[in-house]
Amino acid sequence: WEQEIKQNKHPNTQAYDVVIIGAGPAGISAGIEAKKRGYKYIILEASERPFNTIQNFPKEKPMFYEPKNMEEPSELKLKGDTKEELLDNFFHIMKKHTDLNIVYNEKAETIETLAEGEHTIKTKTHQYLARKTILAIGKSGNHRNLGVPGETLPHVYNQLFDPHAYTEKNILVIGGGDTALESAQLLQKAGATVTMSYRQPEFTRPKPGNIIACNKLQKEKKLTLLFNSTITEIRTTEVDIAINETKETRSFDNVFIMIGTQLPYEFFKSAGIKIANAKTHITYWWMTFAIAFANIVYFGKASAPLDTSNGISSAIASLITGTIKEASIKTIAWTSVLVLGITGIVITIDLIKKWKYYFKNKWSYIKYTYFFLTIIFYLIVFFGNKYFSFQLGNKDPYFWYSFLYTITIGLFGARRIATAKKTYVTIQTTTLFFVQAIPLFFIPNVVLPWMNTMGWIHPWIIEHVFLGGEWWRFVGFVLAWPLFFWNIFTNEPSIFWLIVSLIQTFIIIPLLVIKYGKGAYCSWICSCGAMAETLGDEYRTLAPHGPKAKKWENVGQILLLAIIITTTLHILGWVPHLQNTLSGINNILLNGYSFFVDTLLAGTLGVGLYFFYSGRMWCRFACPLAALMHIYNKFSTWGILADKKKCISCGLCTKECHMGIDVMGYAQQGRTVTDGECVNCSACVNVCPTGVLSFGKYKKLWGNKNNKLSS
């Protein structure tokens, strides 16, 4: 791009090589660099001065720069212990660049992307054409509101400019972030009586130094901290506060609402900038398409063909023939074929319209070509098997499903290895591929049938291990109950598989989890985890976060209870005098569980939502084996260790976690990440820019939790 600018002058003499929006540290630094490189540039600043956000900080606000040993390539260095010292440093550097092209009071209102990839930036009075645009507006936006009566009263503020203006005043500071804690400290230092209200039971987000300082002030009775408290109403001299759900009324002279800011989403939207995880109407078309295809795969391979002997009328009528389960499977599968066709037209139009967006690089072409060929291939296998007595390679759809599953893990696993460039990821992904390729695909689908034709399998093994030649049961050596439950749900008791399942689920897996955490199985052995870590790798940042999502994680515990009850009743059904009594309820429970859990949740939604809510939806929210391992994990000695001194609160670790864990919350406090959802994928460790996180043992099995043994 730099070569293009130097060699090819823009035909429009009014056009800029770079338009920089914002004259804060990032904007000024970008301007200095653009000037050095000889670009035609301009800096647009909405206010009347540079560094406006910093200039609005409270007087004598302390400044923190972490990590301290990081080299700054910019000429605009961050130096100074207070706001004033930092600004003095900035203005001293700016004196060397008095010719910077800055326009003040020029707020960018819209950014329009042109067909050539250039931008038109519009303000109230001007319009600017740019080859490239740099948004250097920082993280500050519109102040968040509490949404309670009285917060717009004149004595209620969102910013603190001069703490000394509130000497001997009774002040309430609302919030639990760095801004709130620093404001409380400055006000107390200036002679105000300060009370802090925070909705959580403790401070977790602020820098450790701020937390220590506020806790010290509380111990010295110089600061009142009200945890688990929410504001319900603000009046002229009083505030209603619910503390641990008990309502109190307290008197205050001034109130500072320091609960953060919201990014200017409307501005981003008008500029065509996509917000991470934001869903649009076209997103739901893609989602419906993905779920429809997943339905065809998971319900279609188990569905019966429609009766087309008398045309469409007999085909529709045959949808509701058979048992409730059979009719439901057929209806879902064949309705999904229709939905796939309709949504396919819409997303094809979207692909053509946004070709450059979807096909940004070589990998994009490989990925979408693979998706297209996979869909066509499976539809041929599906329709051929159902209507034309055609079996590709004399194999049924189950074989080709397993084949495509394995190829997908291999292809997307190769991409993960290439992009991560980490030894841990390489070994982990390679292990996952070979576990899927050999014991889960090649042995049951190729080796065992061939060995049987050669007469190399003992009759006892055929009868008691594979129950008469059902080679697919071999996967039960890898996939344990209650994830894979079919080896238990046999008409007659299979002592062999009962013993294997007991050893797997209640001896081997607990030992693995206790020594190396839940991820030892989820991210190194399990086929669901293999797909999530490979195909789902690009989409891990789409995982739902927050309290609501954490509550949904309890679904797995409910499903664990359901499969325990279903399994227990099935085993009791083997008892001769209980067989007739329990056969009806057992059929209902097994059919219901296999339909709703094994097919709908683990299959259709588990895979269909990969590209919209991350690849760990099934593993995180619904897998009963994962729920069981949560119990084992309480005794685990393994975790992700955190060095809080290095944490800069960038949030990348939390963003990368496809299990929705607030990793940054642990890192900021230096706590070991022991959340039961963690699957040791290593994404948070790899993405951390300052090396805060590492794997290791953090306690002895029967000892102190804080005893770090190795990392």
In order of their start, the domains of the chain are 2-138 (3.50.50.60), 143-262 (3.50.50.60), 282-539+548-597 (no CATH), 637-697 (3.30.70.20)
For tokens 């953090």, what's the residue?
A: 698
Question: What pTM was computed for the model?
Answer: 0.79
Dist CA 601 CA 621 (whole Å): 10
3-state SS assignment for residue 178: helix
Q: With contact defined as beta carbons under 8 Å apart, do 528 and 602 qualify?
A: yes
Helix axes 25-36, 83-94, angle to 10 degrees: 20
The burial class, CB within 10 Å (0-12 / 13-18 / 19+), for 350 is: middle
DSSP annotation string for 303-352: PPPP--TTTHHHHHHGGG-S-HHHHHHHHHHHHHHHHHHHHHHHHHHHHH
HSE value, Cβ hemisphere, 13 Å, CA-based, for 459: 0
Q: With contact defined as beta carbons under 8 Å apart, do 560 and 632 qualify?
A: no
Q: With contact defined as beta carbons under 8 Å apart, do 1 and 118 qualify?
A: no
Tell me, what's the pLDDT at 141? 66
Assess whether the previous peptide bond of 482 is cis (omega < 30° from 0): yes
Q: With contact defined as beta carbons under 8 Å apart, do 513 and 625 qualify?
A: no
Look at 311-320, 403-412, 639-648 and tell me which has the smallest mean pLDDT. 311-320
Dist CA 130 CA 453 (whole Å): 71
Tell me, what's the pLDDT at 396? 82
For tokens 């953060």, what's the residue?
A: 260
**pLDDT tens, residue by residue, 486-530:** 999 998 899 999 999 999 999 999 999 999 999 999 999 999 999
Q: With contact defined as beta carbons under 8 Å apart, do 153 and 237 qualify?
A: no
Dist CA 136 CA 33 (whole Å): 14
Kindly state the tokens that stand for 42. Answer: 């301009």
**pLDDT tens, residue by residue, 609-632:** 999 999 999 999 999 999 999 999
pLDDT over threshold 90, residue 44: yes
Look at 385-389, 461-465, 682-686 and tell me which has the smallest mean pLDDT. 385-389
Dist CA 553 CA 623 (whole Å): 10
Helix axes 555-572, 624-633, angle to 10 degrees: 110
- List the one residue out of 684, 631, 681, 675 whose CA is nearest residue 655: 684
Residues with Cβ < 8 Å from 368, sequence gap 6 or more? 351, 358, 359
Residues with Cβ < 8 Å from 402, sequence gap 6 or more? 440, 441, 445
Residues with Cβ < 8 Å from 340, sequence gap 6 or more? 289, 292, 293, 296
Tell me, what's the pLDDT at 709? 36
| Percentage, residues of the chain above pLDDT 70 | 93
Residues with Cβ < 8 Å from 683, sequence gap 6 or more? 540, 656, 657, 658
Give the burial string for 330-343 (b: 16+ CB within 10 Å, else e): bebbbebbebbeeb
**pLDDT tens, residue by residue, 580-591:** 899 999 999 999
The model's confidence at residue 115, banded by pLDDT at 50, 70 and 90, is low
Tell me, what's the pLDDT at 711? 36
The mean pLDDT value for 96-117 works out to 87
Kindly state the tokens that stand for 312. Answer: 């469409």
Mean pLDDT for all residues in the chain? 89
- DSSP 3-state percent helix, strand, coil across the chain (nearest 5): 50, 10, 35
HSE value, Cβ hemisphere, 13 Å, CA-based, for 29: 15
**What are φ and ψ of residue 111, in 5° steps?**
-130, 120
Tell me, what's the pLDDT at 254? 95
H helix or E strand, kind and range, residue 156: strand 156-157
The model's confidence at residue 710, banded by pLDDT at 50, 70 and 90, is very low
| Percentage, residues of the chain above pLDDT 90 | 63
| H-type alpha helices, 103-240 | 178-189, 208-219
Tell me, what's the pLDDT at 22? 93
**pLDDT tens, residue by residue, 416-437:** 999 999 999 999 999 999 999 9
Tell me, what's the pLDDT at 41? 94
Q: With contact defined as beta carbons under 8 Å apart, do 668 and 688 qualify?
A: no
The mean pLDDT value for 77-96 works out to 92
**pLDDT tens, residue by residue, 330-366:** 888 888 989 999 999 999 999 998 888 888 889 999 9
- List the one residue out of 175, 182, 170 whose CA is nearest residue 196: 175
Kindly state the tokens that stand for 245. Answer: 């759900």
Gyration radius of the chain's alpha carbons: 31
Q: With contact defined as beta carbons under 8 Å apart, do 34 and 148 qualify?
A: no
H helix or E strand, kind and range, residue 26: helix 25-36
Dist CA 156 CA 335 (whole Å): 57
User: Which of the 8 DSSP states describes residue 160?
Assistant: -
Tell me, what's the pLDDT at 274? 74
For tokens 């660099």, what's the residue?
A: 33
Selected residue with higher pLDDT from 174 and 323: 174
- List the one residue out of 407, 390, 411, 464 whose CA is nearest residue 441: 407
Over 356-380, what HEC string results? Answer: HHHCCCHHHHHHHHHHHHHHHHHHH
Q: With contact defined as beta carbons under 8 Å apart, do 35 and 41 qualify?
A: yes
- List the one residue out of 115, 142, 117, 134 whose CA is nearest residue 42: 134
- List the one residue out of 677, 652, 665 whose CA is nearest residue 552: 677
pLDDT over threshold 50, residue 707: no
3-state SS assignment for residue 577: helix
Dist CA 547 CA 421 (whole Å): 33
Tell me, what's the pLDDT at 123? 92
Distances (CA, A) of 561 to 259, 272, 622, 677: 40, 47, 12, 18
Give the distance, in angstroms, between the CA of residue 213 and the centroid of all CA atoms in the same chain: 33
Q: Are strands 238-243 and 229-234 parallel, antiparallel or unpaired?
A: antiparallel
Residues with Cβ < 8 Å from 68, sequence gap 6 or more? none
Q: With contact defined as beta carbons under 8 Å apart, do 684 and 647 qualify?
A: no
3-state SS assignment for residue 50: coil
pLDDT over threshold 90, residue 74: no
The model's confidence at residue 394, banded by pLDDT at 50, 70 and 90, is confident
Selected residue with higher pLDDT from 12 and 602: 602
Tell me, what's the pLDDT at 654? 94
Q: Which of 94-103, 377-386, 695-704: highest mean pLDDT?
A: 94-103
Kindly state the tokens that stand for 176. Answer: 């639990």
Kindly state the tokens that stand for 405. Answer: 């599953």
Dist CA 349 CA 354 (whole Å): 9
Tell me, what's the pLDDT at 6? 62
Q: Length of the chain, please?
A: 711
